[in-house]
Chain A
Amino acid sequence: MRALHAALAFLIGDPQADRMVPPAGFTVTLTVFTSAAMAFLAVFALALSLASGRLAERWGDDLAKSATIRISAPADQIEDQTRAALRVLETTPGVAEARALSDEDQRVLLEPWFGPDLPVDQLPIPRLIEVIAEGDGYDATGLRLRLQAEVPGAVLDDHAAWRRPLVEAAGRLRALGWLAILLIGGATGAMITLAANAALAANAQVIAVMRLVGARDNYIAGAFVRRFTLRAAAGALGGTVLGVLTLVILPRGGGDDETGVLTGLGLSGLQWGWTLVIPPLAAAVAFLATRAAARRSLQRLS
């Protein structure tokens, strides 16, 4: 409650104190532009991070729920082994569904490589069983051991080998997004510090007069801090709106999340709410950067 009161008092400000610092100066444009540009970039970094997070989750969840059993056996044994494998799967906890792919299904799968006329029934192609897991999934190690004992030609492929690097890559992309947001915050702070230092140096005479009439350091610093904070917030608001509009008009990949980050860069549902955090965050960075710069300058000018 006290913090809210302090925040409100800061926003309302002291109009007379605000008037003491001359309104003109290049630092106005610099602060507003920097905040707008950084907020715009922050929207994209946020979208990248959240989109890659969604992707990682999707790959992690969906692929973990599916597996393939490949049965390689002499032609006269392949049907028996397929039935044996299906029996094993029926009694395996965590398996929701298991289906042996028909010749037609396998022909369709191979069609992109071998064309539509592939004589599947005449080739020694392994039989595939599609396995769909439920709940927390099945025990892959246990299933492998049972298949090894009961179906010698069966090999379980739970997609872990190629799923892991994809999920890791998406996770790294997400971390990169957050790192970008941190760097953007740091760069915003550095630029606003430079602008605040320039404004303080340009207003050394104003500071001298305020000191002469008995103004305390907090009062003098406050006049600058509030100005820079509000400018940064305004710039960041503009940059965020622009960033959100750009995200909205970006081309979509037909709602297919697996198309990846390139066409899936965007926000969904409540994730849009995260963009509301950017302007107050930029204002907080500006507040801290200007306050530190003002304190240093006032110490130096004393």
Chain B
Amino acid sequence: MIELENVAYSYGYAGGELLTEISLKLAPGSFHFLTGPSGAGKTTLLKLLYGALVPTAGHLRLWGQDIRAMSRDDIAILRRKVGVVHQDCRFLDHLPVAENVALPLTVSHQGGPDQAQNLSDLLGWVGLTARADALPPELSGGERQRAALARAVIMSPEIVLADEPTGNIDWEMSQRLLHLLVELNRMGKTIMIATHDLQLIRAAKSQVQARVLRISNRRVQLAGADL
């Protein structure tokens, strides 16, 4: 599905590579946490995984295709197979929640009656039916994260990547969001969550078999048993 082989990435300015010798395979249906200190490269690694960045060295294969051999359009289309949730959610603030959630359908010209039902079900699943017509700035932190998750999964992606999804919400909301992600994993989706919230990781491990990866010294390592 997604495979990294000796991948390195550098932003080009002084300081050298941010990530190096990353070899990783995300198998279908697996659940991963990515942890590490701020600035370690968690977000950069996630960006590599959804094709927003191209490795400066090594091989990154998305569904068998090397990203360097792909055109920008190919990457855009492939990105529809990857749902992404950011800490800051990234909405179009002038569009209501329902339209924001449906954006992936809109840009891929897949809107229609079936999808309208799908959207309605999805908003119900994340508990935002009543907030469908609200604008993103009117939502609470937890509601924004759930809306972002709904948008991430509306195309039924094979992988969901979440970058610090609980960074701006309270513990109760974090639990609720985690529950939704675990539910998705049980449906067969591959999940990777970048977080430094150890409490969240422990809570997840009690519900699902999760692999915890730590970025340390520019490399990805399997975290110890304390997690």
Contacts and interface: CB of A to CB of B under 8 A. Distances in A.
Interface of A: 16-17, 19-20, 22-23, 205-206, 208-219, 302
A207 to B, nearest CB: 11
A205 B136 CA distance: 14
B59 interface: no
Interface of B: 52, 72-73, 76-77, 79-80, 84, 86, 90-92, 94-95, 99, 103-104, 106-108, 111, 151, 155
18 contacts: A16-B106, A16-B111, A17-B107, A20-B103, A212-B84, A212-B86, A213-B103, A214-B80, A214-B155, A215-B76, A215-B107, A216-B73, A217-B72, A217-B73, A217-B76, A218-B73, A219-B107, A302-B72
Nearest to B109: A14
A213 B104 contact: yes
A213 B150 CA distance: 12
A302 B99 CA distance: 24
Contacts of B106: 16-17, 20
Contact of B77 (A20, A208, A214): A214
Contacts of A205: 90
Given A214-B79, A214-B155, A20 B95 contact: yes
Contacts of A218: 73
Contact of B103 (A208, A209, A216): A209
Contact of A216 (B76, B92, B151): B76
Contacts of A19: 95, 99
Nearest to B89: A209
B76 A211 contact: yes
Given A16-B106, A17-B106, A209 B76 contact: no
B107 A213 contact: yes
6 closest Cβ pairs, A-B complex: A214-B80, A215-B107, A213-B104, A216-B76, A214-B79, A213-B103
A208 B89 CA distance: 11
Contact of B76 (A16, A206, A208, A214): A214
